Structure 1
Amino acid sequence: MKNLGTASVAALRQYVRAAESAGTDTSALFAQANLDPNILDSDDGRIDGEQFQHFIRLLCELTDNPILGLETGDFVQPGSYSVLGYITMSCATLGEAVARIAPFEKLVGDMGTTGLAIAQGSITLTWNCNYDDPVVRPQVIDNVFASWVNYARWLADDTEASPTSVRLQRELPGVELEKAYRNRWNCPVQFGADEDSITLKQDLLDTRLRQPDPMLRKTLEAHALTQLASLDTLDTDTDLTSQVKHSIQHQLTQGITRQDMVADDLGMTSRTLQRKLSQEGVSYQKLLDEVRQKMAEDYLLNSDLSIPDIALRLGYSETTSFHRKFKAVTGQTPGEFRQTKTGN
């Protein structure tokens, strides 16, 4: 079975808000999906992907609504995208906001991944859904595209902004329902396509957004990178190494790296931590190096922070030490790595 990862509570909240607006009581669904309704009060909470897929399946069965996903897209808010939503709010143009989707979409959840291609004056966003339930999958894709369009219109303060075309792998849920798609997207919609994609004119990306704030965006992106690193370690490490890395990441946001503080954070002595890590075949320094490297690459790829600023954030006393360590791992200096990967 495919690992569906996790989903943010913000994503769940959008479905619940739509259901409650339609008069649907979701309390029983939480129990059936083994979810605590109180989790909706959490700003940074996450739920298991299998639980999220199951919840949507139950909601589909309860409402018997073939365009549930399309309609839930009407309830998108900046908070629906977790910290990514607030990052895009602070961007200067729609293109700048779109460029933030792929690097940070994991913060919203592991429901799918976005691809981007530009050709002949158009930009195409392709979304590959990870959910495999045949009932849930088309609704999630509809929700993602409907949410994108509605949110982009809100960001640009332009209710008329529309894609040039939308292609969906799902079959048309009924001729009488095709109008619902056209009314919302105001463009041709192809059903039974070979991919799920949304295309818009490239010049639409130059649209100025309502409240750009470059300093706030950089701050939010730094926070988002820390969250991403935390999610990555939770996906791949043992409980102890995950906890140690998470604590290190938290320290690095303060520009500090001390083993005794990590041990204290985990409720043990520094010697006990060292012994437990040794039993798992790792050392504190190795975990610190891994966290630093991961965060360094994220900062270089997904932020505009200067290299000396990145070195400072990662707890290096000198930029030259950061250069030397980074090159030992990648074979490139931080500047060369950024240039090669981003062209900047």
Structure 2
Amino acid sequence: MYVDIARIRLLVSELERRTQNPDTVAKTLERSGLSLQDIQPPAKLYSARTEAQFIRNACDVLDDRTFGAKAGLEFRSTSSLTAYISKYSRDLKQVLENTVRFHRLIDPAIAFGIRVSGNSASVEANWKDPSYSRFHRRTEFLMFGAISRLRVLTGVQINPIEMRFQHRVGKRENSYAKIAGFPVLFGAEKLEILLPLSALDIPVPSYDPSLREHLLEYGERLLADSERPKQSLRAQVEGLITRSLPGAVIRAEDAAKDLGMSARTFARRLHDEGTCFREIVDDLRCDLAQTFLKNEMGLAEISYSLGYADQAAFSTAFKRWTGQAPSAYRNRVEYAVNV
């Protein structure tokens, strides 16, 4: 799954600005499977998972979990078709309608919807590929980047009533609201941006109905010609596991049933992909556990979030995965950043 190269260029630029060290930037790219040459013109696309890994690594280098959110607020321009359609739209309502319709052309892993109720409008994000929901820092980058783009398009300092994330960030929660300038909620039921209803009427200064109509026709042709990306069975299983959290992990037989398979067929197809249900559960838990520890969440909260009966069971599992206790891992991460 691939996304606009403009995003990684922004992220690299922000990391370079923060570190003032080209070698650090190059090493962070290398750890993420990239080089500076890979993101130079004429490159137009790159892997969404690479993007997620780069944001994680940049957060570690800076010892700043909010790097993705801060970089998102600096997102100004993109050359995507959706961006051009939005640029020539009448108002913010049309911009959001364009996003709902065409966003899968630029990021097939996530889709948006608009829900109006009372005095507010909710821009809801839904994972088409739920395996990407594990990348919390990338999710923050995308959501804060959406606000930045709305501000650039309208020329208005739009402030949401609230931005809501489904994941948790422990002690870091207040820092997000501080950098955003508006309320940010974690551990919410939905991933969404809540806007005042009046914001939908904010005009776009560059509105051009004829250009918009032409681009809409082109966009519809691209949608008609494009194939929806096929998810691997592993990605589908990761999505089911993620949805079952916090507090429980879906059982293999229930996952098979949800996917319309017998338990035997389910196990065979996973084997054909070189994995098994238990391995996927362990990999996802390990990945999320490391993210939660970096967020400074308490061990009891992490244990519950990952579906363990108690803290001791989680600590035993974490040591099996990484060879060290959760507290030792957290100390090592903090030391590595500070030396």
TM tier, shorter chain? 0.5 to 0.7
For residues 119 and 204 of structure 1, what CA distance do their matches in structure 2 show? 13
Supply the AA of the counterpart residue of 2:90: A
Q: Structure 1 residues 148, 209: CA separation in 2 closer, same or farther (over 3 Å shift)?
A: same
Supply the AA of the counterpart residue of 1:52: E
Asked whether the 8 Å contact 2:59–2:66 carries over to 1, the reply is no
Per the alignment, in what secondary structure is the counterpart of residue 78 of structure 1? coil
For residues 82 and 141 of structure 2, what CA distance do their matches in structure 1 show? 17
For residues 228 and 44 of structure 1, what CA distance do their matches in structure 2 show? 22
Supply the AA of the counterpart residue of 1:45: K
Which residue number corresponds to residue 323 of structure 1? none
Asked whether the 8 Å contact 2:111–2:125 carries over to 1, the reply is yes
Q: Structure 1 residues 189, 42: CA separation in 2 closer, same or farther (over 3 Å shift)?
A: same
Which residue number corresponds to residue 252 of structure 2? none
| CA displacement 1:201-236 (0-9 Å, x = unmatched) | 222101111211112222333343444455427x46
Asked whether the 8 Å contact 2:113–2:123 carries over to 1, the reply is yes
Q: What are the within-5 Å matches in structure 2 for residues 121-132 of structure 1? A: 121-129=119-127, 130=129, 132=131
Which residue number corresponds to residue 213 of structure 2? 218
Per the alignment, in what secondary structure is the counterpart of residue 114 of structure 1? strand
Whether 1:22 and 2:21 are equivalent positions in the alignment is: no
Which one of the candidate residues 150, 153, 161 is aligned to 1:152?
A: 150
Per the alignment, in what secondary structure is the counterpart of residue 80 of structure 2? helix
Which residue number corresponds to residue 12 of structure 1? 8
Q: What are the within-5 Å matches in structure 2 for residues 104-123 of structure 1? A: 104-123=102-121
Supply the AA of the counterpart residue of 1:122: S
Deviation at 1:96, TM superposition (A): 0.7
Asked whether the 8 Å contact 2:76–2:152 carries over to 1, the reply is no
Deviation at 1:15, TM superposition (A): 1.6
Per the alignment, in what secondary structure is the counterpart of residue 146 of structure 1? helix
Q: Which has the higher contact order (CA 8 A, sep 6+)?
A: 2
For residues 151 and 7 of structure 1, what CA distance do their matches in structure 2 show? 16
Q: Structure 1 residues 94, 150: CA separation in 2 closer, same or farther (over 3 Å shift)?
A: same
| CA displacement 1:97-148 (0-9 Å, x = unmatched) | 11111222123323422122111232111113446478x6221222122112
For structure 2, the residue ranges without an aligned partner over 5 or more in a row are 231-339
Asked whether the 8 Å contact 1:9–1:43 carries over to 2, the reply is no
Moved more, 33-42 or 136-145: 33-42
Which residue number corresponds to residue 44 of structure 2? 45
Asked whether the 8 Å contact 1:169–1:193 carries over to 2, the reply is yes
TM-score of the superposed pair, with normalisation by structure 1: 0.58
Supply the AA of the counterpart residue of 2:101: P
Q: Structure 1 residues 173, 228: CA separation in 2 closer, same or farther (over 3 Å shift)?
A: farther
Deviation at 1:72, TM superposition (A): 0.8
Q: What are the within-5 Å matches in structure 2 for residues 74-85 of structure 1? A: 74-79=73-78, 82-85=80-83
Asked whether the 8 Å contact 1:8–1:107 carries over to 2, the reply is no
The number of aligned residues is: 226
Supply the AA of the counterpart residue of 1:97: V
For structure 1, the residue ranges without an aligned partner over 5 or more in a row are 237-344
For residues 30 and 64 of structure 1, what CA distance do their matches in structure 2 show? 16
Larger radius of gyration: 1
Asked whether the 8 Å contact 2:4–2:80 carries over to 1, the reply is yes
Q: Structure 1 residues 105, 42: CA separation in 2 closer, same or farther (over 3 Å shift)?
A: farther
Which one of the candidate residues 165, 168, 176 is aligned to 1:168?
A: 165
Asked whether the 8 Å contact 2:109–2:132 carries over to 1, the reply is no
For residues 83 and 200 of structure 1, what CA distance do their matches in structure 2 show? 24
- In angstroms, what is the RMSD of aligned CA positions? 2.7
For residues 230 and 16 of structure 1, what CA distance do their matches in structure 2 show? 33
Which residue number corresponds to residue 317 of structure 1? none
Whether 1:184 and 2:180 are equivalent positions in the alignment is: yes
Moved more, 43-52 or 113-122: 43-52
Which residue number corresponds to residue 137 of structure 1? 135
For residues 95 and 183 of structure 1, what CA distance do their matches in structure 2 show? 26
Report sequence identity in percent. Answer: 19
